[in-house]
Amino acid sequence: MFEFAESIQRVAIMAVPFLLAVTCHEVAHGLAALWFGDQTARMAGRLTLNPLPHMDPMGTLVFLVTALTGGFIIGWAKPVPVNPGRFRNVRQGLIVVSAAGAAANVLLAVAFLGLFILLRDSYPAPGSLLAPYYEPLYLIAQFGVVINVVLAVFNLLPIPPLDGSKILAELLPYSWAQQYMRLERYGLIIIVLLVVSGGLRFVFQPIWALLNHILF
């Protein structure tokens, strides 16, 4: 019973930064697309910080399961609709729009890190009004840094259909880009194989080491 209550508390703490991370990621894509002349995301009602329009049922379920089990947290939101044909500059627009989500996560990571440092260096006096909220806020700030750094790095991996692949495709010669983006149909398989084989560990190991040094 105690373990179940602990799991529920962990999910409640992780849900706040997770929903903020994926929501801001998608909104950033939509805002960048709007800047380049595409109003598709706005017309679809996706330029909102309300997480409900962005939630993907399967992505949310996977997040809840992985958070409850205490393993590596996985989850995702619905991709924001974008129509590159409406961009004033298609090539530049695709690069900026693809990078916008990761940029939003980096900014959120910095904001959560600032909150984490503030809380770490200013423990409230016992019995004060802030004392009961200190630990939850501390853990939210801690996880907020982790989830946003992970999302930013993961989405910039050059594996179709991740954002990094779209950026790379626009930097390649057209014929090369066409061949490269054909890998999109195998993207999920490639990601699963990298996870199972431990290939992603080489990417995230130095990042984990840095986060552990700063946060734990």
The DSSP output letter for 183 is G
Task: For residue 120, give every residue at least 6 positions away whose Cβ sits within 8 Å of its Cβ, in sequence order, or none.
Answer: 138
Is the N-terminal amide bond of 206 cis, ω within 30° of 0?
no
Cα–Cα distance for residue pair 20/50, rounded to 1 Å: 9
Is 26 catalytic? The answer is: yes
Cα–Cα distance for residue pair 12/15, rounded to 1 Å: 5
Q: Which two tokens stand for residue 211?
A: 């986060």
Q: Which two tokens stand for residue 215?
A: 């946060």
* Candidates 3, 6, 26, 135; catalytic one: 26
Burial of 40 (0-12, 13-18, 19+ CB in 10 A): middle
Q: Which two tokens stand for residue 139?
A: 């853990």
Q: Which two tokens stand for residue 119?
A: 């809380």
* 82, 28 contact by CB (below 8 A): no
What Å distances lie between residue 38 and 6, 22, 48, 96, 130, CA to CA? 45, 21, 16, 13, 45
| Residue 77 bridge partners (DSSP) | 55
Active-site amino acid positions: 26
